[in-house]
Amino acid sequence: MSDTAVQTPDSALAQPAKHKPLVFSGVQPTGNLHLGNYLGAIRNWVPMQEEMPCIFCVVDMHAITASFEPDLADKTREIAAAYIASGIDPERSIVFAQSRVPAHAELAWIFNCIARIGWLDRMTQFKEKAGKNKERSSAGLYVYPVLMAADILAYKATHVPVGEDQKQHLELARDIAQKFNNDLNEPGWFPQPEPMILGPTPRVMSLRDGKAKMSKSEPSDLSRINLKDSNDEIATKIRKARTDPEPIGGSMAEIDARPEASNLIGIYAALAGTEKEKVLAQFDGAQFSGFKNELAELLVSTIGPIRDRMDHMLKDKAEIDRILSRGAERADAIAAPILAETKRIVGFL
Ligand code: TYM
C-alpha cells in the first residue's frame, strides 16, 4: 500500500524474537451488538485467552466519529457486559474503555503525522460510512483507522482477531508501524500486527439481503439478530429471513452463488462449531422451513444464555464500572511506558 514503507526481510524477521504474543481487539459502543459482532469477533476471542495474554477494549472514542447520543457510558457498559457474558474473563484478560487510557489519543496524533493522506483516501469503510456526505463527515471519521492503529500498537499487540471488514484497517496499521520504524530508524520498535480472521462467518450478511453486511446501522431490525433479542424475536427474524425458492443442496460453489442460503448455512456452521460443507451435506435436499427451525433453536440456545447473563450483569452498573476501572489501570500500566519511549524516539523533550 505505501510507497515509502518498504518491507525488508530483516524487519519482518525481527518481529518474532522481539515481540511477545499479545492479542488486542475491540468493539464500538454504537447501537445494538449483533450476531456479526459475536461470530466475526467476540466468540473467537474466548479461546484465545488460553493461548496468549489478551486485551479487549470498548472503543468509545471510535464511537464519537459519527453522530452519537449522550448515553455512551451505558452503551460502553453494555459492550463490556457482552464480552464477559460471552466468556471473556476480566481477571485474566484486560477489559477496559478506550477513553480511559490516554495513550490511545496521544499515539494516534503521532500516527496522524506518519500516515499519508493517500493511504487514508483508499479506506473503503470511510467511503461507505461517509457516502455522499464526505464534506460533512467528521475529521475523526477520516482518521478513524489511525486511531485503530494506535489502539493496537500502544500495547505492541501482535494478534488482532476481527471480522473481515477490518482487514484493510489492519493493513494500514501494519504500514504505519513499518513507516514509523523506518522513518525513525528504530527497526522492530513496533510489531507488524497480524489480522486473525477466523471461522466460517468472517462476514455475516444481512438476513434481508445476502449481499449486504449485517450491521448496526441498517434501518430494518429484521436484518440482524441482536444479542439482546428475545427468543421469540430470534425465531421470527429467522423465519422471515430471505431465501431463494430452491431447496438446500448442490456443491459449495453452487451454494455460495446463492448469497442468502450461503449466509444461513454459514451461521449454522459457526454456531454448531462445524464447517459449511458438513452442514450442506446434513441438510442436502431439505426445504428452508425445516432448516430455519433448527437454526432458530441453535441461535436461541447460544444467544439466549449470553443475553440473560448480560441482563443480570447490567443490573449492577457499579460492578461493571469497577471491572472497567481496574482494566484501565492494567492497560495504562502497559501502554504508558511504550508511549513514553515512542515520544522519546520521536524526539519530544
Ligand atoms: P465494529 O464495532 O464495527 O465491529 C466489531 C467487530 O465485529 C466485526 N463485525 C463483523 N464480523 C462479521 N460479520 C459482520 N457482519 C460484522 N460486523 C462487524 C468487526 O469486524 C469487528 O471485529 N474499527 C473496529 C473497532 C476497533 C478495533 C480496534 C478492532 C477499534 N480499534 C483495534 C480491533 C483492534 C470496528 O469498528 O468494529
Do 66 and 30 meet the contact criterion of CB atoms below 8 Å apart? Answer: yes
Give the DSSP letter of residue 245: S
Global pTM? 0.94
Are residues 26 and 98 part of one domain? yes
Pocket of ligand 1 (CB under 6 A): 24-28, 36-37, 40-41, 59, 62, 148, 151-152, 160, 162-163, 165-166, 202-204, 213-214
Closest Cα to atom 27 of ligand 1 = 26
Model confidence pLDDT, tens digit, residues 203-253: 999 999 999 999 998 999 999 999 999 999 999 999 999 999 999 998 999
Domain count, the chain: 2
Q: What is the rounded average pLDDT of the residues 315-327? A: 98
Model confidence pLDDT, tens digit, residues 181-201: 999 999 999 999 999 999 899
Are residues 37 and 179 part of one domain? yes
The CATH number of residue 164's host domain is 3.40.50.620
179 is catalytic: no
Are residues 289 and 153 part of one domain? no
- CA distances to 259, 270, 294, 335 from 289, rounded to whole Å, are 17, 20, 9, 51
Q: Is residue 214 part of a domain?
A: no
Model confidence pLDDT, tens digit, residues 69-112: 889 999 999 999 999 999 999 999 999 999 999 999 999 999 99
CA of 59 to the centre of ligand 1 (A): 10
Are residues 237 and 193 part of one domain? no
Q: Which of 216, 228, 278, 343 is catalytic?
A: 216
**CA neighbor of 56 nearest in space, from 337, 338, 327:** 327
Alpha carbon distance 244, 247 (integer Å): 8
Under DSSP, is residue 194 helix (H, G, I), strand (E, B) or coil? strand
Q: Is residue 173 part of a domain?
A: yes
Q: Give me the residue label for grid cell 476481527.
A: 162
CA of 129 to the centre of ligand 1 (A): 14
Are residues 321 and 262 part of one domain? no
Do 72 and 29 meet the contact criterion of CB atoms below 8 Å apart? Answer: yes
The CATH number of residue 281's host domain is 1.10.240.10
CA of 207 to the centre of ligand 1 (A): 19
Buried b (16+ CB within 10 A) or exposed e, 81-102: bbbbbbebebeebbbbbbbbbe
Domain limits for position 104: 6-201+316-346
Are residues 174 and 297 part of one domain? no
Under DSSP, is residue 236 helix (H, G, I), strand (E, B) or coil? helix
Closest Cα to atom 31 of ligand 1 = 148
129 is catalytic: yes
Alpha carbon distance 228, 230 (integer Å): 7
Q: What angle do CA 151, 103, 3 make, to 5 degrees?
A: 55
Are residues 131 and 48 part of one domain? yes
Are residues 335 and 280 part of one domain? no
Are residues 272 and 230 part of one domain? yes
Q: Which of 179, 213, 237, 276 is catalytic?
A: 213
343 is catalytic: no
